[in-house]
Amino acid sequence: MLKFITKPVFQTTAKVLAVVAMMNIGTTSMFMMYQPEPPKKSS
């Protein structure tokens, strides 16, 4: 049961992280004065 739930949870988390990362590429960080180093090549 746990194994059945875990995969979609992580897949959704991965989608959220990817969207956050992509929205920040090409813009500046909203939360002010530090810009994390973006990945060299995003897929």
Partner 1 sequence: MFEISLHKMGQAVGSYVAKKASRLEQAELLSYGAEILLGSFVKLSLLFSVAAFLHITSEVTVLLFVTGLVRILSGGAHCSAYYRCLITSIVTLTALGSALKLMQPFLSVLPAIVLYGTVLLSLYLYWRYAPQAPPNKPFENETSELAFRRCTLLAVAALSLVAIIVGTNSFMGWTTAAALLWQAFTLTPVGHKFIGSWDILLTLQSKGGEVKC
> Closer CB to partner 1, residue 4 or residue 26?
26
Applying CB under 8 A, the residues found at the interface with partner 1 are: 6-7, 10-11, 13-14, 16-22, 24-43
| Residues 6+ away with beta carbon under 8 Å from 29 | 35, 36
> For residue 42, which of 23, 10, 34 has the smallest C-alpha distance?
23
Work out how close the CB of 31 gets to partner 1 at its nearest, in angstroms, rounded to a whole number. Answer: 5
Closest contact distance (angstroms) between CB of 1 and partner 1 is 16
Closest to partner 1 by CB, 4 vs 38, is 38
